[in-house]
Amino acid sequence: MTGKVFLVGSGPGNLELLTMKAREVINSADVILYDQLPGEKVLSILPDSAEKIDVGKYGGCHTMEQVDIETLLVREAKAGKKVVRLKGGDPFVFGRGGEEMETLREHGIVVEMVPGVTSGIAVPECVGIPVTHRSWASQVTFVTGHEDPEREVSLIDWEWLAKSQGTIVIYMGAKNLQVITELLIKSGKVPETKIAVIERGFRKDQRVTCGTLADIGETATRIGVKPPAIIVIGEVVNLYRDGSEGAWAQR
């Protein structure tokens, strides 16, 4: 009898933001494939009864390649097991959940998605930056800062983004921050546009660095900004107040 796979979003890393559905599925799993993005607090509650397999990426090194992760999901499900693929944020927002769903469907395996709170909204929110605001931004665009390296032509329209009057939220962009800001300025974005880089959201070592497109690259290099980080670009950054992140970071 073939098992079932759950693609589970764990949220932005704070245990309080893990959904009841996610907790229920995790607690009843036979096998859990996880990476580092759920965070230590979420990983600490994984049940002893489940086999736990680390498939994360650390410092640019993959514990397991994506194709091997998908092969493992198929194998465990075909062995009749209840399999949880645990991801940070939401599995369908730059989490490769769509690819895994396709592979599982191709093999006739039942797959259920368990949505999670995406970090692109939650992390700015926890430091007092709303991604939309009636006075500042009537639209928000989510962008990956790390496209498929095998793609020759980018799917991101930087000129359109530069003209956008809304908020731009960039996932996985810390390492390419200088390139991203230069692309936006070259495409016509005003160099004085406000930007915030929020590292390690919801964790005790969370840090917020603000600046402009013109100077954030130099600042980030000087202070050593590192992933994971969410980048917010736009006038909503004006609403950030130093210290407003304290309550969540200390939980």
C-alpha dist (Å) from residue 83 to 23, 70, 96, 154: 14, 12, 17, 34
Strand-strand pairing, 57-58 and 140-144: unpaired
Q: How far apart are CA 158 and CA 163, in angstroms?
A: 9
Asked whether 238 and 228 are in contact (CB, 8 A), the reply is: no
- Tokens for 218, please give them: 């130099």
Q: Tokens 């004006």 identify what position?
A: 238
What is the widest separation between alpha-carbon atoms in the chain?
Answer: 60
Catalytic residue among 4, 41, 52, 57: 57
Asked whether 53 and 107 are in contact (CB, 8 A), the reply is: no
CB atoms within 10 A of CB 207: 18
57 is annotated as an active-site residue: yes
101 is annotated as an active-site residue: no
186 is annotated as an active-site residue: no
Strand-strand pairing, 167-171 and 229-233: antiparallel
Kindly report the backbone phi and psi dihedral angles of residue 66, in degrees, each rounded to the nearest multiple of 5, phi listed first. -55, -45
| Residues facing residue 196 across a β-bridge | 210, 232
59: left (phi over 0), alpha (psi -120 to 50) or beta: left
List of residues 6+ apart from 73 with CB closer than 8 A: 5, 33, 83, 85, 100, 103, 104, 109
Catalytic residue among 30, 64, 172, 175: 172
Would you name the residues annotated as active-site residues?
35, 57, 172
